[in-house]
Amino acid sequence: MRAKPRNRGSADRAFDSALDDTDLTAARAALSQGRWQAARSLLARTGDDWDRRGHRAVVLARETYSAAWTRAWLLAEPDSADAAVLLALARVWRALRGKDEPDLAREACRSAAERYPADPTPWLGLLLLERHLGAQEEVVRTFEQVRARYADHHHAHHLMVARLAERRAGAGPDPLHEVYDFADWAAEQAPADSPLAILPVVAHAERYRVLAAAGFEPADPAGSGHWSGRRARQVMKAAFDWWLEWEHDDHPRRLLDLNFLAHAKHCGGRGAEAAALFHRIGGHATPEPWSYPDRDPLAAFHAARTRALGAA
């Protein structure tokens, strides 16, 4: 039950993968016009803030024009590690769309990794590819390459959870499924202020996606008992308590975490807590998890938001 990358239809165009990163939005707009210097400056300023670097590189690389303009950058600056990373990730996105050979994307990621050995971002690109196309052993090996460079990498853990959730899809509901163990382990080993504290909630949503697609859960997550069990209540409470104590306004992917947590609170019937989260999210909805298992994410987000805010 491996998920395929979503086509960017009308609903997806309502979402902005840059989230609230205005510098990233500006660099992306400049890159669309062939002005790659803005992307160069952005990645240089980002430095070794690995979560932010990964977020920015993945978003820039996702655009269909990214590969062409990044090649122009690499021609102008053939020794640029940042250009090599961005081109590698652009090739990953092209491979996931069926526009490039996966092996060429793999080669580009490994070549970029050789240029900047400390950087987990080329390995993040490879993990993004293998999460969809690779064997389980390769996914695990690539994840370990990311962790060797930055143990608490946010995006890498999300990719790993999404892949693990798809194992044993036909086994039905199982509170001892390995994705839950992995998410609990990652949250426990991370520093107290790490946003990986939300990962058990993400694991719960990803497993719902798989179970619903296999017919074990209803298509409407709010009508499922998936969020009413003892484990679900525990992980939602722990994640919400963490958010109240440790919320990071500056983490580049925090809005994704808030969407997962708001979704869980909505599905679990915790309207007041969901309302608080929707206030923080504002207009920054994300396709995941509102699209799960196969829903219009924008409609699902607005319906849940209206219900929560109306009941608050």
Q: Let me know whether 231 and 288 are in one domain.
A: yes
pLDDT in tens, 219-273: 999 999 999 889 999 999 999 999 999 987 899 999 999 999 999 999 999 999 9
- Looking at the structure, tell me whether residues 14 and 142 fall in a common domain: yes
Residue 165 lies in a domain: no
Query: Do 195 and 283 belong together in one domain?
Result: yes
Give the model's pLDDT for residue 202.
Answer: 98
Domain boundary among 97, 125, 150: 150
Render pLDDT for 65-120 as a digit per residue (tens, 0 to 9): 999 999 999 999 999 999 999 999 999 999 999 999 999 999 999 999 999 999 99
The pLDDT-based confidence of 122 (bands split at 50, 70, 90) is: very high
The reply to whether 66 falls in a domain is: yes
Report the C-alpha dihedral over residues 68, 59, 156, 213, rounded to 10 degrees.
-100
CATH number of the domain at 11, please.
1.25.40.10
Domain boundary among 126, 150, 174: 150
Please tell me the total count of domains within the chain: 2
pLDDT digits (tens, 9 = 90+) for 200-214: 999 999 999 999 999
pLDDT of residue 176: 86
Render pLDDT for 135-191 as a digit per residue (tens, 0 to 9): 999 999 999 999 999 999 999 999 999 999 999 988 888 888 999 999 999 999 999
User: What pLDDT does 247 receive?
Assistant: 84
Cβ neighbourhood burial of 104 (10 Å; 0-12, 13-18, 19+): middle
Domain boundary among 98, 125, 150: 150
Q: Are residues 198 and 294 in the same domain?
A: yes
Residues 6+ apart with CB under 8 A from 225: none
Q: What angle, rounded to 10 degrees, do the helices at 81-96 and 37-46 form?
A: 110
Q: Which domain holds residue 213?
A: 191-312
